[in-house]
Amino acid sequence: MQKVLVTGATGRTGLLVVNKLREYPTEFKVVGLARNEAKVKEIWGSTEDFYFGTIKDKTAIEKAISGCNALVILTSAVPQIKGAPEPGERPEFYYADGESPEEIDYYGQINQIDAAKAAKINHIVLVGSMGGTNENHPLNSIGNGKILIWKRKAEQYLIDSGIDYTIIRAGGLLNEPGGKRELLVGKNDELLNNPPDGIRPAIPREDVAELVVRALQINEAKNKAFDTISKPPSENGENVKIDFVKLFEQTTAGL
């Protein structure tokens, strides 16, 4: 059995990952790291198997990761809207003090990777975002945070750590049911810049969570980094059968 720490566990994708891992009680023992105890109670009704603290607190990470075999990183800086925009005006964004992409997506991830290495973690699954090959991507201008640049630097740090890794760079995240779409994998933002048949470069959060779980189960996912989007859902609404081994075999190592 793998004991897995999920950070960013109360986020919209994080809670899906926790729930999916709990569907395999003989394979995984899941623990979470979160900042808000009340939010954990609201979602799961209990704080059992949760640790509380921030990824800037090395001691909190070390406590949560003790005895674990794997780590799933789902933490990310979140921009805030500045004031109330007038009708027709574009909103302005900022990052709260101490919550910039540099602090969260770079140094916060470094803290997690370093703690994982010290704890002799076997495998880290990191969920990131596509767009990191383009320094002028619009997401980098939000709050002048350069979020995709810092995420990509952290990904390289993970690759260089020597720990087995799986880096999943998701397209636009959809709050739609998973399992209804064929998944595509690629590299270097090709799926973002030239999606096949002009499909929207997006993917349901539930499918990202499924990829995380499968990455922890399938050896072919180790030491791979890839972009992922999904095709439109099946017309009949039925689930799409995916061979995840073959899917991961299409992916490659390195950024």
Residue positions annotated with a catalytic role: 129
The DSSP 8-state label assigned to residue 194 in this structure reads S
The DSSP 8-state label assigned to residue 141 in this structure reads H
Beta strands in 134-217 (DSSP E): 164-170, 172-174, 183-186, 202-204
Q: What is the spatial distance between Cα 95 and Cα 243, in angstroms, rounded to a whole number?
A: 40
Q: What angle do CA 58, 45, 216 make, to 5 degrees?
A: 55
3-state helix, strand, coil in the chain (%, to 5): 35, 25, 40
Token pair, residue 87, equals: 């009708």
Token pair, residue 230, equals: 């999904």
